[in-house]
């Protein structure tokens, strides 16, 4: 999650009560989840896809080589902020919401910092060809 978080040493606060009660997750939220690759570990990742979203698995590939994945019901697409060096949904696919343990909301060490969503989705529109998040509005015909 560099540059947002360091791999070692950062301490974050995680909110679990409303998550367990409402199961509300938004694009851009930073979540703590059990790693699908190694269930003995937890991961801190950003939500880049919600159920029904079509995701470009690797938006750096040219158009004919891109693989499109639709996030199934009950799953999310998680990615690290360090796109070039992160093990995330690009390797292990959509993540079951049952693996999510909560939302990170504050980094308390080494410096206190509120964790913001990171995406302002109000009044924005995803257009064909937008790949900043690895999400497109539709699969090209």
The pTM (predicted TM-score) of the whole model is 0.69
- Give the pLDDT score at 116: 60
Contact 55, 77 (CB under 8 A): yes
- Give the pLDDT score at 12: 63
- Give the pLDDT score at 120: 47
The CATH number linked to 81 is 2.10.109.10
Angle, alpha carbons 101-103-104 (nearest 5°): 115
- Give the pLDDT score at 104: 78
Q: What b-and-e string marks burial along 86-101, b requiring 16 or more CB atoms within 10 Å of the CB?
A: bebbbeeebbebebbe
How many domains, the chain? 1
- Give the pLDDT score at 60: 79
- Give the pLDDT score at 9: 60
Q: How far, in Å, CA of 100 to CA of 116, rounded?
A: 18
4 within some domain: no
Q: Which residues of the chain have pLDDT under 70?
A: 1-14, 16-23, 105-141
For 46, how many CA atoms within 13 A lie in the half-sphere containing its CB? Answer: 21
118 within some domain: no
């Amino acid at each position: 999650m560099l540059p947002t978080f360091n791999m070692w040493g950062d301490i974050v606060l995680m909110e679990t009560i409303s998550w367990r009660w409402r199961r509300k997750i938004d694009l851009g939220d930073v979540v703590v989840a059990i790693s699908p690759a190694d269930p003995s570990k937890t991961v801190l990742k950003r939500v880049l896809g919600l159920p029904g979203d079509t995701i470009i698995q690797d938006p750096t590939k040219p158009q004919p080589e891109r693989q499109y994945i639709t996030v199934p019901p009950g799953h999310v697409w998680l990615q690290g902020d360090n796109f070039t060096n992160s093990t995330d949904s690009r390797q292990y696919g959509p993540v079951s919401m049952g693996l999510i343990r909560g939302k990170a909301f504050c980094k308390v060490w080494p410096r206190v910092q509120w964790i913001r969503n990171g995406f302002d989705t109000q009044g924005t529109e995803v257009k064909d060809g937008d790949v900043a998040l690895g999400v497109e509005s539709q699969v090209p015909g």
